Amino acid sequence: MKRNVPLLLAIIAGFVMIVAFFIPYTVSWGEDVSIWFDILASIAFILGGGNLLKVHLKKVSDQAKGWGYSIITIVAFLVMLFVGLTKLGVNPNPQFPGHGHWAGQYNEVGSPFYWLFESVFKPLQATIFAMLAFYVASAAFRAFRAKNMEAILLLATAFFILLGRTAAGVFLTDFIPEESGYSGLRLENITVFIMDVFNTAGHRAIMIGVALGTASVSLKILLGVDRSYLGSGEG
């Protein structure tokens, strides 16, 4: 019951998706299972939120190190959740004005949810991702050493691509006329050639490898050979 039913569930769900691809009669089955998948993925977000609340409430109740920051997390979570789920400050839908604010868009421009998204979520997310520029550059500076052919190729490619995509790169080889037979030596054209030929070759091989790997892992799971996702204990 604890292991066989989930195993069967995984096999049936997986094979329904495969069969739905090949047999037109079963296409709607695949669509339904696909929607169920999306619903479960959405419920997983609720699970994530619940878990976040559980962990941080425990930290606050234990007064563990940094519990003050946990209060900020909990308050931010609850405020955003309340504002979004109640559609606070949302205008009615112009097509159905009699339905009140519930029929409006939860992320309508000017609503408190939109305000929190624009003023808190978006700048924080963008800045945290932008910070990676410094860390990637710093890690590259420390780790990259042109000590063998592979490292030289990696460094040189990165250098040419970075230079070729900037105004400085274009300026450096500006003296080579566009119409001449040597125009391929202009930095921006070298960049395009590297991207279209060498990069595409490597990328294509990686994609083929990933596809074969995914197919083999999927088959192992669907045929019940790989059961690691069921865990080891009976718990």
Partner 1 sequence: MSRENTIWLIVFLIGAVMLFGRAMFTEHGMAKMYVEESPREFVDLGDEENPDWVSIEEAPEYVDVSAIPADHRVSWKKQRTSNYGEFVQQPAGGNIQFSLARSIGVWLAALLTLFVLSFLIKDNPFYKIAESLFVGISAAYWMVVAFWDQIVPNLIGKLSPTFVRNWAMPGLGEDARQELLYLIPLILGLMLLWRLSPKGGWISRWPMAFFIGTFCGLRLIRFLQADFLLQIRAGIDPLYVTEGGVFDVWASLANVILLIGVLSCLVYFFFSFEHKGIVGKTAKLGIWFLMITFGAGFAYTVMGRIALLAIRLEFLFDDWLWLIDPTDKRLGI
Residues in region 126-145 near partner 1 by CB under 8 A: 126-134, 136-137, 140
**Could you tell me the CA-to-CA distances from 173 to 159, 183, 228, 234 in Å, in that order?**
15, 9, 56, 67
Per CB under 8 A, contacts with partner 1 among 51-90 are 51-52, 54, 66, 69-70, 72-81, 84-85
Closest separation in Å from C-beta 225 to partner 1: 12
Cα dihedral across residues 6, 12, 18, 24: positive or negative: negative
Contact call for residue 218 and partner 1 (CB under 8 A): yes
Q: Which is nearer to partner 1, 173 or 199 (CB)?
A: 199
Task: Choose, by CB under 8 A, the member of 158, 168, 174, 177 that binds partner 1.
Answer: 158
Per CB under 8 A, contacts with partner 1 among 95-124 are 95-99, 102-103, 106, 109-110, 113, 115-124
Q: Which is nearer to partner 1, 70 or 186 (CB)?
A: 70
**Could you tell me the CA-to-CA distances from 58 to 48, 177, 230 in Å, in that order?**
15, 68, 28
- How many residues touch partner 1 (CB under 8 A)? 137
